[in-house]
Amino acid sequence: MRKFELERELVNDYDKTNDTTVSGNRLAYRLGELSKVGLTNDNGSNRPGFSQEEKRAKELVMEWMREAGLSVRMDGAGNVFGRLEGKKDVPAILCGSHVDSVPNGGHFDGPLGVLSALEVVEAWKEEGYRPEKPFEVVIFSDEEGARFNGGLSGSEAMIGEVDMNQKLLLQDSKGMSFEEVLQDVGLTVEGYQAAKRNLNEVEMFIEVHIEQGKRLEKENLPCGIVTGIAGPCWLEVTFTGEAGHAGNTPMNDRKDALVAASEFIQKVNKLPEKINDSAVATIGKLQVEPNGVNVIPGSVSLYIDIRDIYKETRDQLVEDVIQLGRDIAMKQSMEIRFSEKMRVDPVPIEESTQALLEESFRACGIRPYKLPSGAGHDAMVVGKKLPIAMVFVQSKDGISHNPAEWSDLQDCVQTVNVLKRYVERLQD
Q: Say whether 401 counts as a known binding-site residue.
A: yes
- Widest pairwise Cα distance in the chain: 84
Angstrom CA distances, 241 to 10, 295, 299, stand at: 56, 12, 6
Query: Annotated binding residue at 245?
Result: no
**Residue 109 known to bind ligand:** yes
**Annotated binding-site residue numbers for Zn(2+):** 98, 109, 144, 209, 401
**Annotated binding-site residue numbers:** 98, 109, 144, 209, 401
